[in-house]
Structure 1
Amino acid sequence: MAETDLQDADLDTPVQGEGEQFDEENRLKPEFVRQVRASLRDDNEDSTYDLVEPLHPADIADLFELVERDERATMAAAITDLMSSEVIAELNDYVREDMLEDLDPEAVAEIVELLDTDDAVQLIEDLDDADQRAILAEVEAEDRTAIEAALAYPEETAGRLMQRELIAVPDSMTVGNLIDYLRSNDDLPTEFWEVFVVDHRYHPIGSCQLSWIMRTPRDIALTDVMKRDQTLIPVDMDQEEVALRFQKYALISAAVVDDDGRLVGQMTVDDIVHIISEEAGEDALLMSGAGEGDINEPLREAYSARVRWLIANLGTAVVASAIIAFFGGAIEQLVALAILMPIVASIGGNAGTQTMAVTVRAIAMNQLTKSNTGRLVLRELKVALMNGATIAVLIGIATALIFTPQLGGVIAVAMVVNIIISGMAGVLVPVAFDRLNQDPAVASSVFVTMITDSMGFFAFLGLAVASGLVSL
């Protein structure tokens, strides 16, 4: 069916057949979303339920983002028994907050009790303190204690993100004891990858994967079959460093320990996938000054996040304009300078952005440390020299043919100088932010742009004056 046909499809025509709610890229089709919205407008709860019921929890969460804000509460009421913990956990943060605003503390508490600790914390951590207290007052004591303990840790640390639901057993057990324990205890997590083995101080000393347990004779001691080499995650470790450890050591899960080395939780690979995706998107948005960049972000927050960087860019642009003003007399003498200046700034800016992107990624991936910073600077200097020489030859010949050979030589030298400066700025600015314990992605682009533009103009116009082509 053509795209125009899809857009004009009758809202009352049901989507037939499993999987026909999705397009070839596994996204919910526009006509399916329109059908759901039409049933919501008609207050037809049965129709809404029938449409939504076949969807996976993650797709239901996506559907909440696609309907209008004032339709979300109605849809949630129509599909109450489909609002599982998986749906709540997959909801966009802003969408979830909007929905929570329409619910009383008792209703939110019921949702919280359905979730694992890490998901429950994520659900309420951005709420006001008063709202948090009201919700936690309605939560059972055991769950409330676990959530409050997690909220006590800083944001984006292992302690805030870890799951407290895990299986830990003493090192005195045999494989048979463990199997009997797993079968007879109804309070254990229903889904797990490995069992942690702890000593009398509750320090993790090893782990056993389920596949090992199921294939080992019952009389074998756990200490004889467990894996002793572990990657332990400190409770205060930043989530980005946690993700890097999972990637480096190919982990499925890992124990989280407190300052005394006691087992307090675990991180699993599904959490890490979210962290990696979040960090990657966050760095890209920070480099552009676009804030969180979420299309569900309130207008006021989006405006506030973006406008401050535009104001900063305005300030740095003034620096470049001041340099142009200083050489105003020279530009008046040769209009070609004004024609060629944007080329110098544009090429320098692109060169700086390329180097900055490489550097920020290297810092984020722990590839760039104090021990190899000098090597990276030298490498980028060589790349800048090669790039500068290539671009200088091209622009120099073109300028010589269109204008004059002397002007071609000036812009060629200026291009080499600017690309070298841009390359060094692209490395040194993010490294400087990192050394100051600031996120190198936050404001690097602002300063790199200022340096490349101002130094590009200064080099080009200064060389034009120095060569005698024009005078001040």
Structure 2
Amino acid sequence: MTDTSQPSSKTPDSAEIDAALLEDMADAVEERDTRWLVRMLQRMHPADAADLLEQLPYDTFEDAVGLLGGELPPDILIELRDSYREGAVDVLPDHAVVSALDELDSDDATTILDDLEDERRERILEDLAPIDRAQYERGLAFEEETAGRLMQTEFVALPEFWSVGHAIDHARELGADLPEVFYEVYVIDPAHRLAGVVPLATLLRTPRDTQLSDIMEDPMSTISTDMDQEEVAFQFQKYSLASAPVTDSAGRLVGMITVDDMVDVIQSEHTEDLLSLLNVRSADGSDTVWDTVMARAPWLGVNLFSAFIASAIISLFEGTIQEIVALAILMPVVAALGGNAGSQGLAVAVRAIAERQLDGAAARRAVVREFLSGLVNGVIFAIGVGIIALIWFQDLKLALVIAASMLATFMWAGLSGILVPLGLKRLGADPAVASSVFVLTLTDVMAFFSFLGLASLVLL
């Protein structure tokens, strides 16, 4: 290690510096130099520190967390990716977890508690103050991936008859008890139901003697505690929200969600959709070879079954292939281009469905668009492939057969790429998870059946 008494002056601005920092950190863990680790992590942004820890070999990462114990800053802990955060929480002693809960916002604290085994969670909750325990248990009672789990219960709520001056003075008196980040104050009626919101900018620009009821606005969006996090993210994206109030079934204000949490959700949902299209899941440094194999093998098994369906179609034309060997050479061309065309349409459709762009008439227009796109692309590539086949095999009929097959496959691929995800959505299934297998199977079947079927009719 270059220097165990002082943190390196380098910061992770390049791959080379990252490597140097990682080597220093690994050496510090091996030498159990807690002081160096703490000073290094404290002088970095929590997100950068979390990234650096995640680049360590996983065993070294666990050793680092165990060595730091209660000195691991909670704002770094919450920045770790899910699998690393869960691993860190498992390593940390109970008193360190309790200390972290005391320093974190309620939404982040609920995330940490959710990482714990049931028995340990109960043990840690018993060590908390009764009011804190009740608050966390209420948050954990909500379903996962809902607004109730995402919301923080720290917010500023004021009665509508208060003046602007009273509201500002009250906020100053709260001091450290104010939420760490907030963009608006919420105006409530005597039943604690949400009456309106006042942006901080409006509050600070308005004379002190003005009543809150005179300047409050209707919320751009009100989130219910049971709303799915994907729908919450859509609301934030649609209305460009910085924060939003969360209400219970009776309309009472119970929390707020801020945009920093939504950035994480949007990123997570987009990543999940992308990986689902490929039938895989993300692989973290904590994953073993067995974890990776078990995550991918089931979908490979499904693909194996679909591949045999395509093989069965080919077997129907075994005699044709034996007589015309050129068909075996050209078959992969039709299937590959058709599969790619279907995948392109599928990717666009799944993204549009996730962004609520394929409802009603928009869905019908999308079907027509994809069909016509498949038709035009089919004509272009049918001509191109037909010319190549004619030059290669000097057989006009064969060139016409593959051109016609290519046209039919492209049109079918265009329809499959849009209709399959829309149909799965209508059935209540997640289009991102199951669509790719169906689309690829359908395009392969059409490619082989149309090409070999036309060849049997025209060439024999």
Decide: shared fold, TM above 0.5. Answer: yes
Asked if 1 retains the 8 angstrom alpha-carbon contact of 2:220 and 2:239, the reply is no
Q: Does 1:128 align with 2:117?
A: yes
Identity level (%) = 41
Contact 1:293 1:302 in 2 (8 A): yes
Look up the match of 2:167. 178
Question: Post-superposition shift, 1:390?
Answer: 0.4
Residue 258 of structure 2 is matched in structure 1 by 268
The C-alpha deviation readout for 1:359-418, integer Å capped at 9, x for no partner, is: 001100000113422211111111000000000000001101111111010000000111
Q: Distance in 1 between matches of 2:39 and 2:235?
A: 44
Q: What is the CA–CA distance in structure 2 between the aligned matches of 1:299 and 1:130, rounded to whole Å? A: 29
* 1:436-456 alpha-carbon deviations (Å, 9 max, x no partner): 221110011111111111111
**Residue 202 of structure 1 pairs with residue 192 of structure 2:** yes
Q: Do the aligned partners of residues 232 and 414 (structure 1) sit closer, same or farther apart at CA in structure 2, a change above 3 Å counting?
A: same
Q: Is 1:102 the equivalent of 2:96?
A: no
Could you tell me which of 12, 34, 42 is aligned with 1:53? Answer: 42
Compute the displacement of 1:28 (Å).
6.1
Rounded to whole Å, the distance in 1 between the matches of 2:40 and 2:172 is 38
Paired residues of 1:285 and 1:293 also in contact (CA < 8 A): no
Counterpart selection for 1:151 from 137, 140, 164: 140
Kept after mapping to 1: 8 A contact 2:243/2:259: yes
User: What is the distance in 1 between the residues matched to 2:127 and 2:420?
Assistant: 49
Alpha-carbon separation, structure 1, partners of 2:430 and 2:112: 26
Corresponding position: 1:429 with 2:420: yes
Q: Distance in 1 between matches of 2:7 and 2:26?
A: 20
Distance of 1:15 and 1:444 partners within structure 2: 56
Write the distance in 2 (CA, Å) between the matches of 1:78 and 1:17: 17
Q: How many equivalent residue pairs?
A: 458
* Counterpart-to-counterpart distance in 1, 2:410 and 2:283: 30
Determine whether 1:457 maps to 2:453: no
**Equivalent residue, structure 2, for 1:445:** 436
CA distance change for structure 1 residues 344 and 21 in 2, over 3 Å: closer, same or farther?
A: same
Normalized against structure 2, the TM-score is what?
0.94
**Cα separation, 2, equivalents of 1:189 and 1:118:** 12
Alpha-carbon distance between aligned partners in 2 of 1:46 and 1:421, rounded to the nearest angstrom? 64
Q: 1:414 aligns with which of 405, 423, 439?
A: 405
- How far apart, in 1, do the equivalents of 2:92 and 2:337 lie? 54
- Change over 3 Å in CA distance of 1:158–1:417 after alignment to 2: same
CA 1:298–1:122 in structure 2 vs 1: closer, same or farther (change >3 Å)?
Answer: farther
Q: What is the CA distance between 1:245 and its match in structure 2? A: 1.0
Q: Tell me the distance in 1 between the aligned counterparts of 2:185 and 2:80.
A: 30
1:188 aligns with: 178
Query: Are the counterparts in 1 of residues 70 and 99 from structure 2 also a CA contact under 8 Å?
Result: no
**Stretch deviating more after TM superposition (168-177 or 27-36):** 27-36
Instruction: State the SS of the aligned residue for 1:29.
Output: helix
Structure 1 Cα separation of the partners of residues 9 and 361 of structure 2: 53
Tell which deviates more after alignment, 250-259 or 120-129. Answer: 120-129
Aligned to 2:296: 306
**Which residue number in structure 1 is paired with residue 56 of structure 2?**
67
Contact 1:429 1:448 in 2 (8 A): yes
Report the Cα offset of residue 19 of structure 1: 7.3
Spell out, residue by residue over 1:105-124, the C-alpha distance to the aligned partner (whole angstroms, 9 max, x if none).
Answer: 34322222222121112223
Cα distance between partner residues in 2 of 1:225 and 1:339 = 74
Aligned to 1:354: 344
CA RMSD of aligned residues (A): 2.1
Name the SS for the 1:127 alignment partner. Answer: coil
1:177-256 to 2 correspondences below 5 Å: 177-186=166-175, 187-256=177-246
2:7 matched to 1:41? no
Judged with a 3 Å threshold, the aligned counterparts in structure 2 of structure 1 residues 327 and 316 are, in CA distance, closer, same or farther, namely same
Q: Secondary structure at the match of 2:78?
A: helix
C-alpha separation in 2, matches of 1:420 and 1:112? 57
1:88 paired with 2:77, answer: yes
Task: Tell me the CA shift for residue 81 of structure 1.
Answer: 6.7
Q: Which residue of 2 aligns with 1:372?
A: 362
Q: Which amino acid aligns with 2:160?
A: D
Task: Look up the SS of the partner of 1:169 in the other structure.
Answer: strand
Structure 1 unaligned regions, length at least 5? 1-10
AA partner of residue 120 (structure 2): D
Deviation larger for 100-109 or 320-329: 100-109
Residues 15, 32 of structure 1: 8 Å contact kept: no
Kept in 2, the 8 Å contact 1:156–1:239? The answer is yes
Q: Deviations over 1:324-351 (max 9, x none)?
A: 1111111111111011001111000000
Give the aligned partner of residue 335 of structure 2: 345
Name whichever of 118-127 and 266-275 sits farther off: 118-127
Compared with structure 1, are the counterparts of its residues 19 and 464 closer, same or farther at alpha carbon in structure 2 (3 Å cutoff)? farther
- State how far apart, in whole Å, the 1-side matches of 2:17 and 2:153 are: 34
How far apart in 1 are the matches of 2:109 and 2:6? 36
Q: Bigger shift: 449-458 or 40-49?
A: 40-49
Letter of the 1:237 counterpart: M
Quote the offset at 1:15 in angstroms. Answer: 12
How far apart in 2 are the matches of 1:288 and 1:46? 44
CA distance in 1, matches of 2:275, 2:54: 20
Distance in structure 1 (CA, Å) of the matches to 2:221 and 2:75: 28
TM-score, length-scaled by structure 1: 0.92
Instruction: Kindly state the Cα deviation for residue 32 of structure 1 after the two structures are TM-superposed.
Output: 1.2
- In structure 1, distance between residues paired with 2:377 and 2:121: 55
Q: Which amino acid aligns with 1:31?
A: A
CA distance, structure 2, for counterparts of residue 442 and residue 113 of structure 1: 39
Which amino acid letter does the alignment assign opposite residue 271 of structure 1? D
